[in-house]
Amino acid sequence: NPDGVPVIFLHGGPGAGASPECRGFFNPDVFRIVIIDQRGCGRSHPYACAEDNTTWDLVADIEKVREMLGIGKWLVFGGSWGSTLSLAYAQTHPERVKGLVLRGIFLCRPSETAWLNEAGGVSRIYPEQWQKFVAPIAENRRNRLIEAYHGLLFHQDEEVCLSAAKAWADWESYLIRFEPEGVDEDAYASLAIARLENHYFVNGGWLQGDKAILNNIGKIRHIPTVIVQGRYDLCTPMQSAWELSKAFPEAELRVVQAGHCAFDPPLADALVQAV
């Protein structure tokens, strides 16, 4: 509805891209739905490009889209990495945010990226898949896997890049759903999410310090906010949502008996209700 309540959907990853299904969280009679593919992924070009691609570039892009569309204030909806980006945008432009709906809270802290991609975290839950994830990395480099993968994902040899991207994306796919399936796309389709996630993780999301987002919550405590978190989320565990809710007591935390995927029925229902 061009005259409806403006809402922007911010996808995860970084690098996952958006899909038409993302519209399903919003009543088209009520909302003016804005969906973008962030830099380097989806239908944005250049594909899988990390150059000039930082959190603050994305925040600036979101603001340019708002200005281009002539929107004064909008609802910001984001999950996983999209929750990080939603919070960063809101803290930069609080006067432009009508409300926040956040899912699967991820604050891009070293402890969170280590949980995902270093030994001793979620690797203990899927040890058989973890073996496949670490296979491309020499044993003497497995103590710093994110850095080791960086060398492969940005290697001059395209075959090396694509093989590493497939392994990275396959590993993550096992963490998203209760009944995981391998990645269906070819290796090239995995390149954006693997390369951009790694690029952001290596650089700490360009956030100033481990508690950058939590320390700036005061800028947005007046914004109506709902946090929807899956109790059994293996990608972005409950701890971060809990810490955010403690720093942001005005926000409403809704815990759902679900995992990470926004399209799983319990989470999808909770998100629709939150909106």
CATH number of the domain at 38, please: 3.40.50.1820
Question: Is 233 an annotated catalytic residue?
Answer: yes
Residues 212, 103, single domain; the answer is yes
Point out the domain boundary residue: 160, 186, 205: 205
State yes or no: pLDDT of 183 exceeds 60: no
Mean pLDDT of the chain: 95
Q: Which residue among 93, 233, 240, 264 is the active-site one?
A: 233
Q: How many domains does the chain have?
A: 2
- What is the distance between the alpha carbons of residues 7 and 75, in angstroms, rounded to a whole number? 4
State yes or no: pLDDT of 41 exceeds 60: yes
Q: What pLDDT does 185 receive?
A: 55
Residues 183, 222, single domain; the answer is no
State yes or no: pLDDT of 186 exceeds 70: no
Residues 59, 176, single domain; the answer is no
Question: Is 3 an annotated catalytic residue?
Answer: no
Q: What pLDDT does 210 receive?
A: 82
Q: Which residue among 80, 173, 240, 245 is the active-site one?
A: 80
Residues 223, 258, single domain; the answer is yes
Point out the domain boundary residue: 146, 171, 205: 205
* Residue 37 contacts residue 31 (beta carbons within 8 Å): no
Q: What pLDDT does 66 receive?
A: 99
Q: What is the pLDDT of residues 84-94, one digit of tens each?
A: 999 999 999 99
Residues 39, 171, single domain; the answer is no
Q: Which residue among 11, 150, 199, 260 is the active-site one?
A: 260
Q: What is the pLDDT of residues 63-82, one digit of tens each?
A: 999 999 999 999 999 999 99
Point out the domain boundary residue: 156, 172, 205: 205
Question: Is 45 an annotated catalytic residue?
Answer: no
Q: What is the pLDDT of residues 105-156, one digit of tens each?
A: 999 999 999 999 999 999 999 999 999 999 999 999 999 999 999 999 999 9
Q: What pLDDT does 20 receive?
A: 92
Considering the entire predicted model, what is its pTM?
Answer: 0.95
Its domain, for residue 219, covers 5-108+207-274
Residues 211, 92, single domain; the answer is yes
State yes or no: pLDDT of 16 exceeds 60: yes
Residues 145, 64, single domain; the answer is no
